[in-house]
Amino acid sequence: MTDLKALAQQLATISGGRASPPRLKEGVITLALDVSGLDPAARDAMAADVRSTALAAPGVSDARVALTAERRGVRIVAVGSGKGGVGKSTVSANLAVALKKLGHHVGLVDADIHGPSQARLMASEGQRPAARDSRMIPIIGAQGVPMLSMAHLVPDGQAIAWRGPMVGNALGQLLDARWAEAGVDLLIVDLPPGTGDIQLSMLQKHKPMGAVIVSTPQDLALIDATRAVSLFEQAHVPMLGLVENMAGYACPHCGEVSDPFGQGGAEAAAGRMGMPFLGRIPLAMAIRQASDAGTPPAAGDDAVAEPFMAIARALSERLAG
C-alpha cells in the first residue's frame, strides 16, 4: 500500500515544493505541478522526475501530472460599458498602446467573443496564435502589444453562434494564455457591452484588479454605464475611473466645436457615483481613420494622441495607488 504522506514529502523535495499532495484511486496517482517561471527544458525535466517518482511507489500503475502555471504578477484591468456603440474597443486598444508608451508591460485581450474588433484595430488580422501544452501564445499586434482575440481563432467573417458555456470556455483560453512568458504584467481586457455571461465569467473566474467604464456624454449611455458600474461594485471590483468618449466635434472646415452627444455628462456622473474621471476623447475623423487602418492614434506624438495619453497617465497613477 502506498504511503501517500511519505510520497507527498518526497515529491515536494524533488519539485522544490511545486507538487500538490498526490491522490491515489484504483492504482492511479494524480497531482498538479506548478511550473510557473520555468523554461521548457526545466519544466519537462521536473515533470518527468515527479512522474517517475510517483510510478515507483508501491501499488501505483499510472501517474498523471497536470502542469499548471499561475498568472503571477499579471493584473487584469477590465474595460466595460453599459451599451454598444460608445467606442469602448477603440479606447481599449489605444489605452493599451498608451500604457506601453508609459513603460507598462501591457497585453490586450478582446473578450467580445461574438463581435471581436481588436484584430482590425491592432493590425493583426489573419494571424493565428501558436500553443504549447494547450495554452495559447499571444501574438504581437500594433506597436508591439501582445494580444489575443477570437478573430485570431476563426475564419474572417464567420459568425460565432455560441451559447454561454462555450463563451465562458473561450474567455478562459484567452485569459489563461502565456501572458507572463510574453512579458505581460498588465492585461487590458476589452469586454463586450452589457452585463451578461462574459462579464459574469470574468468576475467569477478571473477577477480583475479594477475596471474602467467608457461612456458617451448623453443621458441614455450614462444610464447603461451606471448598470455596468453596479455590476463591478457588486463583485467588489474597484472602479479605476470613467472615460467620456465622443466628447465634442470640431468641424474640419470652420473649426467650430459642437457637442452632438452632449457635454460633460460622464464627468458629472463620475462625480455622483464617487469614482474618478479619467478624461475625455473628442469625436474626431482622424481617430476613426487611424483605427480603421490598424494604426492606433495613441501611437503618435500629436494632438490626436494626447487625449489617450492623458487618460493613460491618469490610469497609471490609479494603478500605482
85: annotated binding-site residue? yes
84: annotated binding-site residue? yes
82: annotated binding-site residue? yes
Contact, 312 vs 297, CB < 8 A?
no
36: annotated binding-site residue? no
Q: Which DSSP state fits 192?
A: P
88: annotated binding-site residue? yes
The torsion angles phi and psi of 212, rounded to 5 degrees, stand at: -115, 130
Domains of the chain: 4-68 (3.30.300.130), 75-320 (3.40.50.300)
Report the pLDDT value the prediction gives residue 5, as an integer from 0 to 100.
83
**SS3 call for 167:** helix
Report the pLDDT value the prediction gives residue 154, as an integer from 0 to 100.
80
Using CA atoms, how far apart are residues 249 and 257, in angstroms rounded to an integer?
Answer: 5
pLDDT in tens, the chain (321 residues): 668 888 888 888 898 888 888 888 888 888 888 877 677 788 889 999 999 999 998 888 898 888 776 545 689 999 998 778 889 999 999 999 999 999 999 999 999 888 899 999 999 999 999 998 889 999 999 999 999 999 898 877 676 666 667 777 888 899 999 999 899 999 999 998 876 778 887 887 888 999 999 998 877 677 888 888 888 888 888 999 999 999 888 777 776 778 877 778 788 888 888 899 999 999 999 999 999 999 999 999 999 999 999 999 999 999 987
Q: Which DSSP state fits 135?
A: E
248: annotated binding-site residue? no
Q: Where are the alpha helices (DSSP H) in the chain?
A: 4-15, 40-55, 88-101, 118-121, 164-175, 197-205, 219-234, 265-273, 285-292, 306-320
Report the pLDDT value the prediction gives residue 1, as an integer from 0 to 100.
60
* Mean pLDDT over each residue of the chain, to the nearest integer: 87
230: annotated binding-site residue? no
83: annotated binding-site residue? yes
Report the pLDDT value the prediction gives residue 163, as an integer from 0 to 100.
66
Report the pLDDT value the prediction gives residue 72, as an integer from 0 to 100.
52
Report the pLDDT value the prediction gives residue 195, as an integer from 0 to 100.
67
